[in-house]
């Protein structure tokens, strides 16, 4: 159903008003018609009522069309305006359109067809303009919203950067503190170890069995404590990038045999079978032997620590001409799948209760992981709870000096 258009005709000439009304009726346009005979009346009517279209005579008794259009514009009254001009007023058309009119029409051309076309065109144009204006407003609003959000994000980012710097500084201080403390602890620890060794070696004849037993315990405990202090020191050095690889050529098989044999007594104490399988043709590598030994010791002593019965295998083989692999496999308690990543983080232990059965700092695997990375290698673990674990380290035959 065609909508009823609310039309206002502003013209002091009654005949002209009638002509417009008649033409609209003839054009078959359903209208609700209102009239004003001068600018003042037109303004008052437009302030109170909303119209779909206004026909405006250019020459009104109290004001010309151009200034009326500008005034309506200033008042924020938005309506499609068709200006009716007299003969010869066409030169005003450009000014009128610039001022905001939708169209203009010479009174002599008022006919049902022309009027119908003009009115529909003006309304369509006006609605399209309104929609564009609305979309523009929405765009401006969302732009403003985005700008504010961006500002908030920037502020948050700055805050995060500040907190990050503070955290880095706190972490640096912590590592420095750990390094200083562990370094300071090493000197008296070494003295205790050294003196208890002298007592055991040189004065064992003058000591009773009970005294020898006590000194032996002092010696063993001090060594455990020194290992722990060394772990903390290495970890804090790794954290502040102070630990560097000392690269040299050496025989990998020899190193693996030596390290494994050193730990055999520990395995024997727990009645564990410690097996070694070396399967390499060329045993020469370029790496840091001390660090590699450290890695192997960590892995084998963990395997012994977390295995109550069964076996531990240490295996070395060539993956290809440039890469080697070392694996340590045990038949121990195993690790829950969810914890497999977490055990490489510093201070992380699967069982972190104070009553845990196994001693340790939770730093061994974190240090191992960092050292393997420094060696341009990688460490992986496979484990099944209650069945055992395999830790595998892959390293290049020749570690490149970092630039
Ligand atoms: P620590 O041995 O001092 O506790 P690590 O960093 O060497 O610290 O190991 C972290 C944790 O990973 C251990 O506490 C243990 O829970 C788990 N883990 C390491 N090696 C094994 C293993 N061979 N079998 C079972 N669990 C292990």
Task: Please choose, from the candidates 388, 382, 224, 381, the residue with its C-alpha nearest in 3D space to the C-alpha of residue 307.
Answer: 388
Q: Is 306 in the pocket of ligand 1 (CB under 6 A)?
A: yes
Q: Determine which helix (DSSP H) or strand (DSSP E) holds 172, and give its type and residue range.
A: helix 112-202
> How many whole angstroms from 324 Cα to the centroid of ligand 1?
24
pLDDT, position 353: 64
> How many whole angstroms from 289 Cα to the centroid of ligand 1?
23
Report which ligand 1 atom has the smallest distance to the Cα of 350: 16
* Residue among 362, 371, 380, 388 whose CB has most ligand 1 atoms within 8 A, to mutate: 362
3-state SS assignment for residue 249: strand
Q: Which residues contact 375 (CB under 8 A, 6 or more apart)?
A: 245, 287, 288, 291, 292, 395, 396, 399
Q: Which residues contact 96 (CB under 8 A, 6 or more apart)?
A: 58, 65, 66, 69, 83, 85, 104
Q: Is 302 in the pocket of ligand 1 (CB under 6 A)?
A: yes
- Binned at pLDDT 50, 70 and 90, residue 354 comes out as low
pLDDT, position 88: 67
Mean pLDDT across the chain, nearest whole number? Answer: 90
Question: What pTM was computed for the model?
Answer: 0.60
Q: Is 350 in the pocket of ligand 1 (CB under 6 A)?
A: yes
Report the percentage of the chain scoring pLDDT > 90: 62
Q: Is 343 in the pocket of ligand 1 (CB under 6 A)?
A: yes
Report the percentage of the chain scoring pLDDT > 70: 96
pLDDT, position 356: 64
> How many whole angstroms from 123 Cα to the centroid of ligand 1?
80
Q: Is 333 in the pocket of ligand 1 (CB under 6 A)?
A: yes
pLDDT, position 253: 96
Q: Is 86 in the pocket of ligand 1 (CB under 6 A)?
A: no
Give CA–CA dist 95/82, Å, rounded. 13
> How many whole angstroms from 141 Cα to the centroid of ligand 1?
57
pLDDT, position 104: 87
Cα 252–chain centre separation: 42
Q: Determine which helix (DSSP H) or strand (DSSP E) holds 318, and give its type and residue range.
A: strand 311-318
Q: Is 349 in the pocket of ligand 1 (CB under 6 A)?
A: yes
Interval 309-351: pLDDT, tens: 999 999 999 999 899 999 999 999 999 998 898 899 887 777 7
Give CA–CA dist 335/343, Å, rounded. 9
122, exposed or middle or buried, with CB in 10 Å at 0-12, 13-18, 19+? buried
pLDDT, position 98: 86
Strand extents, DSSP E, 143-260 = 248-251
Interval 167-213: pLDDT, tens: 988 888 888 888 888 888 888 999 999 999 999 999 888 989 999 99
Give CA–CA dist 9/89, Å, rounded. 19
Q: Is 23 in the pocket of ligand 1 (CB under 6 A)?
A: no
Greater confidence, 290 or 3? 290
pLDDT, position 349: 78
Q: Is the pLDDT of residue 400 over 60?
A: yes
Interval 99-146: pLDDT, tens: 888 888 888 888 888 888 888 888 888 889 889 989 999 999 999 999
Nearest CA to ligand 1 atom 1: 362
> How many whole angstroms from 363 Cα to the centroid of ligand 1?
9
* Residue among 364, 370, 388 whose CB has most ligand 1 atoms within 8 A, to mutate: 364
Give CA–CA dist 392/380, Å, rounded. 5
353, exposed or middle or buried, with CB in 10 Å at 0-12, 13-18, 19+? exposed
pLDDT, position 291: 93
| Phi, psi for 213 (deg, rounded to 5) | -60, -45
Which tokens is 166 given? 């503070």
| Phi, psi for 263 (deg, rounded to 5) | -95, 0
Interval 216-236: pLDDT, tens: 999 999 988 998 888 888 888
Across 255-266, average pLDDT: 94
Q: Is 365 in the pocket of ligand 1 (CB under 6 A)?
A: yes
* Residue among 274, 301, 302 whose CB has most ligand 1 atoms within 8 A, to mutate: 302
């Amino acid at each position: 159903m065609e909508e009823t258009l609310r039309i206002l005709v502003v013209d002091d000439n009654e005949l002209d008003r009638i002509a417009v009304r008649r033409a609209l009726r003839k054009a078959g346009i359903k209208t609700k018609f209102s009239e004003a005979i001068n600018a003042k009346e037109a303004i008052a009517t437009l302030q109170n009522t909303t119209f779909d279209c206004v026909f405006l005579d250019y020459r009104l008794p109290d004001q010309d069309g151009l200034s009326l259009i500008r005034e309506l514009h200033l008042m924020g009254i938005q309506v499609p305006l068709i200006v009716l001009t007299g003969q010869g007023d066409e030169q005003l058309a450009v000014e009128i359109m610039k001022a905001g009119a939708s169209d203009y029409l010479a009174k002599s051309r008022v006919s049902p067809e022309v009027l119908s076309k003009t009115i529909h065109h003006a309304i369509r144009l006006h609605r399209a303009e309104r929609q564009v204006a609305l979309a523009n407003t929405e765009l401006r609003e969302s732009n403003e919203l985005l700008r504010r959000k961006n500002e908030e994000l920037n502020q948050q980012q700055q805050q995060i950067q500040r907190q990050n710097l503070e955290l880095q500084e706190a972490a640096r201080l912590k590592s420095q503190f750990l390094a200083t403390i562990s370094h300071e602890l090493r000197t008296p620890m070494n003295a205790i170890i050294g003196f208890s060794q002298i007592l055991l070696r040189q004065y064992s004849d003058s000591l009773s069995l009970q005294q020898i037993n006590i000194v032996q315990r002092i010696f063993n405990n001090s060594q455990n404590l020194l290992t722990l202090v060394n772990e903390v020191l290495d970890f804090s050095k790794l954290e502040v990038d102070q630990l560097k690889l000392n690269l040299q050529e050496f025989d990998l098989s020899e190193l693996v045999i030596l390290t494994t044999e050193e730990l055999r007594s520990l395995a024997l104490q727990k009645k564990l079978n410690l097996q070694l399988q070396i399967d390499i043709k060329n045993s020469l590598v370029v790496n840091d032997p001390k660090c590699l030994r450290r890695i192997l010791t960590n892995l084998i002593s963990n395997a012994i620590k977390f295995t109550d019965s069964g076996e531990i295998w240490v295996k070395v083989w060539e993956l290809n001409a440039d890469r080697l692999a070392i694996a340590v496999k045990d038949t121990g308690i195993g690790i829950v799948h969810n914890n497999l990543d977490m055990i490489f983080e510093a201070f992380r232990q699967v069982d972190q209760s104070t009553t845990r059965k196994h001693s340790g700092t939770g730093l061994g695997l974190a240090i191992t992981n960092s050292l393997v990375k420094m060696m341009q290698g990688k460490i992986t673990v496979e484990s099944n709870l209650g069945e055992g674990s395999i830790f595998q380290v892959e390293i290049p035959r020749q570690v490149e000096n970092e630039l």
